[in-house]
Amino acid sequence: PGERVLDACAAPGGKTACLAWAAGDGGSVVAGERSSRRLALLERNCARIRAAARLLRMDAKRPPFHEKFDLVLVDAPCSGLGVFRRHPDARWRLREEDLGVQARRQTAILQGAARAVRPGGRLVYSVCTNEPEETGEVATSFREPGFVPIRGGGALPEGAKRYLEPDGSLRITPGDGLDGFFAMSWRKEGGNC
C-alpha cells in the first residue's frame, strides 16, 4: 500500500489491476505498453474492471522515468511455452532460434526498466515459460550495478514458498499441475529498505 508502481509490459491488464488494488488509495500505478494495439486492449480491460492506473505508450527498454518507482514489474513478452498444457499449439509456433531472440529482448527490457527503480525499490522479472534461455539465463545475465537478488520469498504466501529456488527465483513447472512460470526479484541498494 502507498507505493509507486510501474507495470512495464502491462497488456492485457490482469497484473495491472492486481497492482492497482494492492497499491490502494495512497499508491499509484503506471502501466506501460509499447504496442498501440495492446495499449488499446489494456485501456479496455482496465476500464472494464475499474483498475485505477495511469496508462501510457512506452518502450520498456527506454522508460521515460528515472529512479521514480518503489516497484517495477517486468512481466516480459516470452515464448509462452509454460502455458502449453492449456494452449498446446504454442510449442508449434516457435523455432528454437526464437528463444534466443526472446531472451535478448527480455534482457534489454529488464535492463531498461531497472533505470526506473528508486534506491531501496524492487525490480521483478517474470515470464510464463520454463525455458532456461528465458528464465535463469536472463536473470543471471542481469548485472545492473546496485541490484541484489531478494531471497526467501519476502511477501509470498506460505504455499508459494515451496516453489522457491536456492538462487531466490520462483519456478513453477507444468508438472506441478499449474502453468509454467518463472520470477526473480531484486532490491536496488540505497534508500530506505
Smallest Cα–Cα separation from 55: which of 39, 73, 37?
A: 39
Q: Catalytic annotation on 193?
A: no
Q: Where are the alpha helices (DSSP H) in the chain?
A: 14-23, 36-48, 96-114, 136-141
Residue type, 95: R
Angle between helices 36-48 and 14-23 (to 10 degrees): 50
Considering 9, 46, 78, 128, which one is annotated as catalytic? 128
Q: Where are the alpha helices (DSSP H) in 7-85?
A: 14-23, 36-48
Active site residues: 128
